[in-house]
Structure 1
């Protein structure tokens, strides 16, 4: 069945996320167990990055079915598992804080960039692919699918790093700040890997 193997892995990721959520509640360097406000950077980052991560997971599932290349499939698997896990943590924190998972505010408002957010063709935040680009990815095969995925994910990671750096600067919940810092480091490493994979295919990131 489509995505069955990855879904099984996702179930394991949920268990890991549950443990991380429990750790967040007991994290001694956070200001007690007080929930942040609904309009805080902590809540805004959790909501926005959960949406951002979901698209990365979707892109990775798509390319998994469009190529047989081991390196790209492994990268896509790692991104899907990591970001599904992190998304579970972010949504779990919102539940624990008893805060809504959606907001009437524009995306990126918590970063002071609400007026810059774009919903053009489904691209809600920096680096997100448009609906048209997602559909195109699903029509490509082999090397073409690999190159387009790597280009889209490069843009996606750059946008994600920008958001995570915003949380490192503005968030107040210690465990969330550390998660954001880990995102910066891991996604920068993946950017370097993707640049090499694009070069191997005679391509480069989009301007």
Structure 2
């Protein structure tokens, strides 16, 4: 888990250095060269999903240290790498747009949701685990850790899909809409995979 800042930092640096995120690319769907406003769906999605992804990365590194099961470790590694890279991309967009990475508005307001309804014990957005749940994950081992991780990540992905679909519907910058579509497809596929993995372990996605 200590590697996380280095992974994200490297992802942002690589993307900016190679010019992978440019205004030309960002404008290939919708208005060319558009720079979104600070309160736009594009900026809100980038800020909120970066936070959402950070927790998924943290959970994945925790479970990799709590089990020897190769299937779960492989899934956790894939999720951590994918979401760390995506997080770096979204923070890179905010840098390019010269927009703040933190907003005074509650999370999810760009989707028309009352973000003040969230935030209880660390669950800042739909699907996010609470501080107590994160702490519990770090105390479990073996099959118990696998099941709880799969349950937490299933809920986390459902919240992520909801948010990504919101961007698909409301974002105006092409690269953001494409990333959001990819998130919906990938995370729905992983939800199905995790349901099968839970079934193999005699469990369901519902937490006790």
Task: Give the conservation status (yes or no) of the 8 Å contact 2:127–2:157.
Answer: yes
TM-superposed deviation, 1:26:
2.3
Task: Give the conservation status (yes or no) of the 8 Å contact 2:12–2:91.
Answer: no
Partner residue, 1:141: 141
Task: Give the conservation status (yes or no) of the 8 Å contact 1:10–1:81.
Answer: no
Q: 1:78 to 1:169 in 2, by over 3 A?
A: same
Cα distance in 2, alignment partners of residues 58 and 83 from structure 1? 10
Q: Which string of whole-angstrom CA distances, capped at 9 and with x for unpartnered residues, describes residues 136-190 of structure 1?
A: 0000000000000000000000000000000000000011000000000000110
Partner residue, 2:119: 119
Partner residue, 2:53: 53
Partner residue, 1:29: 28
User: How many residue pairs are counted as aligned between the two chains?
Assistant: 205
TM-superposed deviation, 1:32:
2.5
Cα distance in 1, alignment partners of residues 138 and 18 from structure 2? 33
Cα distance in 2, alignment partners of residues 45 and 8 from structure 1? 23
Cα distance in 1, alignment partners of residues 39 and 5 from structure 2? 33
Cα distance in 2, alignment partners of residues 8 and 40 from structure 1? 29
Task: Give the conservation status (yes or no) of the 8 Å contact 1:107–1:117.
Answer: no
Partner residue, 2:155: 155
TM-score by length of 1: 0.91
Partner residue, 1:93: 93
Cα distance in 2, alignment partners of residues 135 and 98 from structure 1? 35
Structure 2: 5+ residue stretches without partners:
none
Cα distance in 2, alignment partners of residues 3 and 50 from structure 1? 17
- Give the CA RMSD over aligned residues: 2.1
TM-superposed deviation, 1:54:
0.1
Task: Give the conservation status (yes or no) of the 8 Å contact 1:13–1:81.
Answer: no
Query: What SS does structure 2 have at the residue aligned with 1:205?
Result: coil
Range with greater deviation from structure 2 (74-83 or 28-37): 28-37
Give runs of aligned pairs for residues 61-72 of structure 1, distance below 5 A: 61-72=61-72
Q: 1:112 to 1:146 in 2, by over 3 A?
A: same
Structure 1: 5+ residue stretches without partners:
none
Cα distance in 2, alignment partners of residues 99 and 26 from structure 1? 18
